[in-house]
Amino acid sequence: MTLLTFAIFLLILAMTLAITYWAARRTNTTSEFYAAGGDLSAAQNGFALAGDWMSAAAFLGFTGLAALYGMDGSLYAVGALVAFLPILIIIAEPLRNTGKYTVADVIAYRMQSSHARMASVVGSIVVNIAYLVPQMAGAGVLIKLLVGIPYTVSVVVVGALMIVYVAFGGMIATTWVQIIKAVLLMVTGAILVIWIGALFGFNLSELFGAVGSQYGSDFLSPGNYLTHPLDPISLALSFALGTAGLPHVLIRFYTVKNAKVARNSIIWLMFLAGAFFMMTTIIGLAAAHFVGRDAILASGGGGNLALPLLAEHLGGGPGTIGGTIFLAFVAAIAFTTILAVVAGLTVATSGAIAHDVYVNVIKRGAVTEKQQLRVARWSTVAVGATAIALGLLAQGVNVAVLVILAIAVAASANFPVIALSLFWRRFNTWGVVGGVAVGLASSVGLAAVGPAVMGPEAIFPLVNPTLLSMPLGFAGAIVGALLRPRDKTAEERFDAVFFRAHTGAESRL
Amino acid sequence: MSHHDRSTSRLIAEEPAFRRLVRAKRRSAVPALVVGVGFYIAISLMAGYAPSFMSASVSGAVNVGYALIFAMYVLTWTIAVIYVRRANRTFDRLAAAALAAGGVGGDDAKAGAVGDARDASATAGTIGAISEAKA
């Protein structure tokens, strides 16, 4: 590891720890811990959402897919933007108006039942852990490849930092780490794209022409990565609707004052992250052209080094001063990206454990504010320690399947239950339990017998099981609800919930 | 819940001002979702089942698939901006009117004032007119 890389890493560490120190002094209530006090502006929450959503899987993964497999990588990337249409239009505002700190708040408020809350907590925790472990493992692999720090050290450092950020600075520190990361990532993307543009006379078809003549037109056709004809649609559904079931994304809407700020913050996110996802196509194709697919494959990391290698190439190539500076900078950004995402996941998970399970189910709300805060901080430590342990166990395991699983479970177990709770009058606690159970079992089960785990001998042909598991999740929720006779009181309660979801009547529980 | 509370929440949900809000939201939400998510599903299906169409040239090496993907970005942004502008102009005003008409405060929409709904909606009308004048 060069001195320069070390210096950039230290600078970013110092900055995030200073933020945490500042945030810790402002974190004295549960509202500040879980929701940053609920008073962020649309721009602040928009940048933080972008920092939360543009994970290493987007920054390094989408560019790698675009570089190695052409169009399929771009199809992947645009889905990450489309996903926010359903969130904007049907989920964010009602969620903001009926929940407090967690996704399960919404379900529990509607159903007035701790069974419903617990079912929702199970869905949230499975998704969060499935999302958290690949981030930790990704950090280990990437930092090792980029700067040579051993896997174990990277995983422990990332885990320790996320515990410090969240345990001390809660959602306030998380928000500002995410904002800084979003700015750094956007600037890096913009510099790369302008640089690439200058090399091709700012003419996109020149870039396509160069890549096309180098690798043949088949490279720019669909089907190089998503090989089964139903793979793209299954992926599309899991992205378009699964994102609306990701707790670490949804809890960001509790950090704003009302539904109007929530929706305006989504516009910020859509232009920031959308522009970035669009850039990954250009960066990926340029990496295929300049670095070459063989060199990207040979570098290890399954294509994830396409962007760092391109940056090194543009800076002057391996061994040059410019190349080294660029690589060091990109490595530091990748590291910050991972930190910002794992911090968001940690807030969401400790909320599910401390706020949902301990305070609301075990203690039935009979806990003082001070005790709640203490439990929240200790849950953070427990979540962080678990994530470190699982991250270490995941060394050498193909964690790509976990990323697919996280979004598939979110689409199949969480989304149906959230959507039906907010919009279906006849829905009830049995439906919540049925939806989570069937959605979880079908997405995990089908992924386990699919190509990501079983390879060519797969029993189920699709890598992403959402095409089948999401309808099954909905079926489980609907059948579960219909197994109970109609309950007039509960249905009339829905009218009050629905009214509040859409008017914000006396927001906050 | 007492019988009175139940009929109360039912009444609030059927309050004309609230029905107007729900109708306005539905009128915006359904087309926005059908067009936006529908276009994405269509591209995904074509990527799986019409790869030769997706590979056809639009201009030089740029093919139909990439053109549609870039169009998807622009479409998503356009739909979101139109929806949010409409929401900021209309939904918040209608929600305020519904709140005033319901006379709501506190947790369970405990509108003791539902009996006065008629009076309240007169107030709501005024609020609506004021915010309209501002816009």
B18, A499: Cβ pair inside 8 Å?
yes
Q: Is the pLDDT of residue A111 over 50?
A: yes
Q: How many Å lie between the alpha carbon of A505 and the closest alpha carbon of chain B?
A: 7
B61, A208: Cβ pair inside 8 Å?
yes
| Gap between the Cα atoms of A348 and A421, Å rounded | 20
Number of residues that this document lists for chain B: 135
| Single-letter residue type at A244 | A
CA atoms within 13 A on the CB side of A135: 34
Q: How many Å lie between the alpha carbon of A396 and the closest alpha carbon of chain B?
A: 32
Residue of B nearest to A260 (CA): B88
B66, A208: Cβ pair inside 8 Å?
yes
Average pLDDT across chain B, whole number: 75
Task: Categorize the per-residue pLDDT at A506 as very low, low, confident or very high, splitting at 50, 70 and 90.
Answer: low
Interface test with A, best of B9, B23, B27, B99 (most A CBs within 10 A): B9
Cα torsion at A338, A341, A342, A343 (round to 10°)? 120
pLDDT (tens digit per residue) in B58-111: 988 899 999 999 999 999 999 999 999 999 999 999 998 888 887 554 433 333
Is there a contact between B5 and A493 (Cβ–Cβ < 8 Å)? no
Is there a contact between A413 and A246 (Cβ–Cβ < 8 Å)? no
Question: pTM, whole model, 2 decimals?
Answer: 0.90
Q: Is B30 on the interface with A (CB under 8 A)?
A: no
Per-residue pLDDT at A4: 78
Give the three-state DSSP class for A66: helix
B73, A71: Cβ pair inside 8 Å?
no
Q: Is the pLDDT of residue B115 over 80?
A: no
* ipTM of model over 0.95: no
Interface test with B, best of A258, A503, A508 (most B CBs within 10 A): A503
B44, A505: Cβ pair inside 8 Å?
no
| Gap between the Cα atoms of B71 and A363, Å rounded | 52
Token pair recorded at residue A308: 């760092």
CA diameter of chain A? 73
Q: Is B131 on the interface with A (CB under 8 A)?
A: no
Q: Which of B10, B76, B104 sits opposite A506 (nearest CB)?
A: B104
| Gap between the Cα atoms of A258 and B66, Å rounded | 38
Give A74's contacts (C-beta < 8 A, 6+ positions apart): A66, A280, A281, A284, B66, B69
CB-CB neighbors (< 8 A) of A213 in chain B: 61
Average pLDDT across chain A, whole number: 91
Backbone angles phi, psi at B58, to 5 degrees: -100, -50
Which residue did the predictor score with more confidence, A174 or B3?
A174
Token pair recorded at residue A178: 């995410």
Interface test with A, best of B53, B73, B99 (most A CBs within 10 A): B73
A495, B13: Cβ pair inside 8 Å?
yes
Per-residue pLDDT at B121: 36
Give the three-state DSSP class for A486: coil
| Single-letter residue type at A221 | S
CB-CB neighbors (< 8 A) of B54 in chain A: 71, 221-222
Percent of chain A with pLDDT over 90: 72
| Gap between the Cα atoms of A109 and A112, Å rounded | 5
A260, B72: Cβ pair inside 8 Å?
no
Residue carrying structure tokens 């007039």: A488
